[in-house]
């Protein structure tokens, strides 16, 4: 595990006070034969959770690290980019985790068969997750992602096909509260997923029309815990390890799924491991230490993509890593145009060291957007029991 300078128990802004005695997290998460300890899962994020980022996060703490979302149609069609995206790294051989997106039960089943039986990932996955939570318009307007659980029979058929094809590999489901406040789906989705043999379900505490705006509502997570017997994982607004402890305490969830909170902060997984073990230490790296992590991240990307492409891919992470630090706009612009590791190292070395900006702790990271009506196929809401896959809904290219 990578070690950073630590500090004793800084409290995130979303926690009113720290308990006087240490608080521990949930028990290890069991998904079939797979044990996840601590019960922490990296959420799939398009363009982010590639092999380099998964490796970096794993170096800081244990957990389950899921690859970018893979579309089942692209996998079945053996799209070259998709086949590359679904490759496991050497240190993922025992716990390679894949998230699939699909709207057709037959295609989803075939994609799972390819992963489990044909080894198209280079190694047999230890876990398959199904995406029913994506809120972006290009997905929902075709009935996919967070729009799909409204069609509960179709949802059932997709989960059933995946579980049967996966055989002994655990299948989980990730979803949202619903399409909007008038079209709530999470309780039905949880019960159906359980009945069809899903090993767990993750609930993001927002509706699709909220996108990533406002504050996540954790109350439905608690209600889902009461409604089903399978493990429920909580997702939404876990910015600090203490937020994770609070989510577990308030909802009774069996673990947490971390998305935007780790952007520019892969050491959050070390904080989570410590928090779940009852320890109060939290990482508070200096800028010099953050710079070392930045260079490591870029180097890992370069190993997989070549130096120029790797450094170009790294550019989007710069603002997240440097959030709150005092860094001149000219240096930030130069870092956002970096194309070589030596260039990156030189620019980072020229920034004076400084303590971590505690003011940014507990605050949102990554994308935000105002609420907006969900784009749906025509007539999508008319019949919840229509089992037909939406016409033309399959996406060929993965990562969305």
DSSP string, 185-205: -HHHHHHHHHHTT-SEEEEES
Helix (H) or strand (E) run with residue 175 in it: strand 171-176
The percent of residues above 90 in pLDDT, for the chain, comes to: 85
Q: How far apart are CA 284 and CA 90, in angstroms?
A: 30
Least confident piece of the model among 99-113, 254-268, 326-340, 362-376: 362-376
Give 299-330 pLDDT, tens digit per residue: 999 999 999 999 999 999 999 999 999 999 99
pLDDT of residue 395: 58
We find that the CATH architecture of domain 287-356 is Orthogonal Bundle (1.10)
pLDDT of residue 200: 98
Taking all residues of the chain, what is their mean pLDDT, rounded to a whole number? 91
The percent of residues above 70 in pLDDT, for the chain, comes to: 93
pLDDT of residue 390: 87
What's the chain's Rg over C-alpha atoms? Answer: 20
**pLDDT band, residue 98 (cuts 50/70/90):** very high
Q: How far apart are CA 162 and CA 199, in angstroms?
A: 12
pTM for the full predicted model: 0.92
pLDDT of residue 361: 96
| Residue 24: pLDDT over 60 | yes
pLDDT of residue 9: 35
Inter-residue contact 59 to 81 (CB < 8 Å): no
Q: How far apart are CA 54 and CA 32, in angstroms?
A: 22
What mean pLDDT is predicted for residues 257-265?
97
| Residue 338: pLDDT over 60 | yes
**pLDDT band, residue 400 (cuts 50/70/90):** very low
pLDDT of residue 22: 58
State the catalytic residue, choosing from 67, 134, 253, 262: 134
pLDDT of residue 4: 54
| Residue 118: pLDDT over 90 | no
Q: Which fold has domain 29-283?
A: TIM Barrel (3.20.20)
Q: How far apart are CA 245 and CA 276, in angstroms?
A: 7
pLDDT of residue 195: 98
Q: Which residues pair with 101 in a beta bridge?
A: 71
Q: Give residues with Cβ within 8 angstroms of 176, minimum separation 6.
A: 132, 133, 135, 146, 185, 186, 203, 204, 206, 207, 208
Find, among 155, 154, 152, 147, the residue nearest to 173 by Cα: 155
Q: How far apart are CA 291 and CA 10, in angstroms?
A: 22
Residue ranges, CATH 3.20.20.70, the chain: 29-283
Is 253 marked active-site?
no
What mean pLDDT is predicted for residues 242-265?
97
**pLDDT band, residue 19 (cuts 50/70/90):** very low
């Amino acid at each position: 595990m990578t070690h950073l300078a630590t500090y004793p128990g800084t409290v995130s802004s979303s926690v009113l006070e720290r308990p006087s005695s240490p608080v521990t997290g949930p028990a290890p998460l069991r998904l079939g034969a797979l044990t996840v300890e601590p019960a922490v899962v990296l959420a799939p994020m398009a363009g982010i959770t590639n092999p380099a980022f998964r490796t970096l996060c794993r170096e800081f703490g244990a957990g389950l690290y899921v690859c970018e979302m893979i579309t089942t149609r692209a996998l079945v069609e053996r799209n070259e980019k998709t086949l590359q995206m679904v490759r496991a790294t050497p240190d993922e051989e025992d716990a390679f985790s894949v998230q699939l997106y699909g709207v057709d039960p037959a295609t989803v089943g075939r994609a799972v068969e390819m992963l489990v039986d044909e080894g198209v990932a280079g190694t047999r996955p230890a876990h398959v997750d199904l995406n029913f939570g994506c809120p972006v318009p290009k997905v929902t307007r075709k009935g996919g992602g967070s729009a799909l659980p409204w069609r509960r029979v179709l949802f059932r058929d997709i989960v059933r096909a995946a579980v049967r094809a996966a055989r002994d590999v655990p299948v989980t489901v990730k979803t949202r509260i619903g399409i909007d406040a008038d079209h709530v789906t999470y309780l039905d989705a949880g019960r159906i997923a359980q009945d069809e043999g899903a090993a767990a379900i993750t609930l993001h505490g927002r509706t699709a029309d909220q996108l990533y705006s406002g504050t996540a509502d954790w109350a439905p997570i608690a209600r889902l815990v009461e409604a089903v017997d399978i493990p429920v994982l909580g997702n939404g607004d876990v910015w600090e390890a203490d937020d994770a402890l609070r989510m577990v305490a308030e909802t009774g969830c069996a673990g947490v799924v971390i998305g935007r909170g780790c952007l520019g902060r892969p050491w959050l997984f070390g904080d989570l491991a410590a928090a779940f073990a009852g320890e109060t230490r939290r990482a508070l790296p200096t800028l010099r230490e953050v710079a070392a992590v930045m260079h490591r991240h870029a180097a890992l990307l370069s190993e997989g993509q070549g130096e120029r492409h790797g450094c170009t891919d790294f550019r989007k992470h710069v603002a997240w890593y440097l959030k709150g630090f005092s860094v001149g706009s000219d240096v930030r612009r130069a870092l956002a145009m970096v194309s070589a590791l030596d260039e990156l190292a030189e620019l980072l070395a020229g920034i004076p060291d400084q303590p971590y900006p505690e003011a940014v702790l507990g605050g949102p990271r990554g994308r935000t957007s105002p609420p907006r009506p969900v784009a749906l196929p025509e007539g999508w809401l008319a019949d919840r029991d229509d089992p037909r896959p939406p016409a033309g809904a399959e996406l060929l290219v993965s990562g969305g």
